């Protein structure tokens, strides 16, 4: 492949910010970054004066978009279509996420994901980075939008079957660490490199510290479907927030958390630990109406998703480009917001390294979102291939 040179753009990344810079891409990877003038570089040039380059956003917790639900009928082509839709929002990598479902349904999902990854090419859009199993080993008292019929006690044999069905692409599991049998899952996950995230949990502060010692490294949508903080009973949320080794998922839609609480969480954990996620369902990018999530009906009204006939929030219609704008609107710099939407998510699942994703640095994949000054996505590149370009 010939070199591609992106020229005259502002580059905003976790290690550097360049006011008028260039990026040289070769064979899908970033070869060089510099300050204009670029000098003589052989390759195709793309002039992007007035625009901003950021590392492509990475969504580690999402259930669908654009009317597409990968859980409703597991199909690799559905996942590839979702890849295309995410690219429109600057997302260059994502973890399709389950909810609590019957064992056969989870197995079918894992197999379809494995097949989709083998079929994926950069021109398809956003990378499918692996699977996130949200459940079924969660606390039924904190089920949230999970169908209680399919929540069950942890089974190491069952979990091993999911690891096998994913073909090495199971990246993350959300589990309630206080549930009997969870210890075996947490220990085995650590052995095979699956990230363990604590969520849908009623664990105490002390149980939270114990779980962190066993290998929990992430918090699933902090405060949501989680034991509340009380001044005499702080619960697991405080244990997770206080631990410098824990990544904190948060949904920046200003619905799941009040803006003051969202700001508090970011201020406590810092951008190097905050993982912005969408937790989107198939209703993202769609009009208000009735949708499904894991077999449960979800009513979307004025952009808020709730289980039909109940007040329980059921995912979101958020996309990460809007989430970044919301965080910048709270007073954080674009560089900090990009770290929370790109770099920290990549690090949280072990993919922030040369040859990996989450940074605009030499040796990293050329997965880049191009923004205008209003932070709207203008173009998305995956492995240097333009997979989305906004018209007009």
Q: How does pLDDT run along the chain (392 residues), one tens digit per residue?
A: 679 999 999 999 988 899 999 999 999 999 999 999 887 787 899 999 999 999 999 999 999 999 999 999 889 999 999 999 999 999 999 999 999 999 999 999 999 999 999 999 999 999 999 999 999 999 999 999 999 999 999 999 999 999 999 999 999 999 999 999 999 999 999 999 999 999 999 999 999 999 999 999 999 999 999 999 999 999 999 999 999 999 999 999 999 999 999 999 999 999 999 999 999 999 999 999 999 998 899 999 999 999 999 999 999 999 999 999 999 999 999 999 999 999 999 999 999 999 999 999 999 999 999 999 999 999 999 999 999 999 85
What per-residue confidence (pLDDT) applies to 41?
80
Task: Output the CA–CA distances (angstroms, integers) from residue 307 to 255, 311, 385, in the order listed.
Answer: 15, 7, 39
Residue 11 makes CB contacts below 8 A (sequence gap 6+) with: 17, 18, 21, 23, 33, 52, 53, 360
Task: Output the CA–CA distances (angstroms, integers) from residue 157 to 132, 181, 185, 188, 217, in the order listed.
Answer: 18, 11, 9, 11, 23
What whole-number distance in Å separates Cα of residue 282 and Cα of residue 289?
A: 11
What per-residue confidence (pLDDT) applies to 43?
83
> What domains, with CATH codes, occur in the chain?
4-53+368-389 (2.30.40.10), 56-348 (3.20.20.140)
**8 A C-beta contact, residue 17 and residue 335:** yes
Model pTM score: 0.97
Tracing tokens 């096998």 back to the chain, one arrives at 164
What per-residue confidence (pLDDT) applies to 1?
65
The helix or strand, by DSSP H or E, that contains position 30, with its residue range, turns out to be strand 29-35
What per-residue confidence (pLDDT) applies to 123?
97
- The CA-based diameter of the chain, rounded to the nearest angstrom, is 65
What per-residue confidence (pLDDT) applies to 392?
58
What per-residue confidence (pLDDT) applies to 14?
86
What per-residue confidence (pLDDT) applies to 249?
98
Measured in whole angstroms, the distance separating CA 20 from the mean position of its chain's CA atoms is: 30
| Coil vs helix vs strand at 13 | coil
| Coil vs helix vs strand at 268 | helix
Measured in whole angstroms, the distance separating CA 262 from the mean position of its chain's CA atoms is: 17
Q: Is 69 a catalytic residue?
A: no
What per-residue confidence (pLDDT) applies to 42?
78
From the candidates 69, 147, 253, 279, give the one annotated as an active-site residue. Answer: 279
């Amino acid at each position: 492949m010939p070199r591609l040179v992106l020229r005259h753009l502002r580059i905003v990344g976790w290690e550097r910010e360049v006011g008028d810079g260039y990026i040289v891409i070769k064979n899908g990877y970033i070869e060089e970054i510099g300050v204009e003038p670029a000098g003589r570089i052989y390759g195709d040039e793309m002039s992007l004066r007035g625009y901003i380059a950021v590392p492509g956003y990475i969504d580690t917790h999402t259930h669908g978009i654009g009317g597409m639900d990968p859980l409703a009928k597991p199909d690799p082509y559905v996942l590839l279509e979702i890849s295309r839709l995410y690219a429109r929002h600057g997302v260059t990598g994502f973890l399709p996420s389950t909810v609590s479902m019957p064992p056969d349904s989870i197995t079918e999902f894992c197999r379809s994901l494995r097949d989709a990854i083998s079929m994926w090419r950069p021109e398809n859009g956003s990378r499918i980075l692996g699977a996130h199993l949200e459940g079924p080993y969660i606390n039924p008292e904190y089920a949230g939008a999970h169908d209680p019929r399919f929540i069950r006690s942890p089974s190491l044999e069952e979990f091993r079957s999911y690891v096998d069905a994913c073909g090495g692409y199971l990246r993350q599991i959300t589990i309630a660490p206080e549930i009997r049998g969870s210890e075996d899952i947490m220990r085995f996950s650590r052995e095979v490199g699956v990230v363990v995230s604590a969520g849908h949990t009623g664990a105490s502060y002390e149980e939270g510290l114990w779980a962190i010692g066993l290998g929990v490294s992430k918090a699933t949508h902090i405060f949501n479907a989680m034991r509340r903080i009380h001044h005499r009973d702080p619960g697991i949320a405080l244990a997770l927030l206080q631990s410098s080794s824990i990544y904190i998922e948060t949904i920046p839609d200003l619905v799941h958390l009040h803006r003051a609480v969202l700001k508090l969480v970011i201020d406590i954990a810092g951008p190097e630990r905050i993982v912005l996620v969408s937790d989107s369902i198939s209703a993202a990018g769609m009009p208000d109406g009735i949708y499904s999530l894991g077999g449960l009906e979800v009513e979307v009204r004025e952009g808020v998703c709730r289980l039909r006939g109940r007040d329980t929030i059921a995912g979101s219609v958020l996309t990460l480009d809007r989430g970044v704008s919301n965080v910048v609107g709270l007073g954080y710099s674009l560089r900090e917001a990009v770290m929370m939407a790109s770099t920290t998510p990549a690090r949280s699942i072990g993919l922030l390294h040369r040859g990996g994703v989450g940074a605009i640095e030499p040796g990293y994949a050329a997965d880049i979102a191009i923004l205008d000054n209003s932070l709207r996505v203008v173009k998305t590149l995956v492995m240097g291939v333009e997979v989305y370009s906004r018209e007009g």
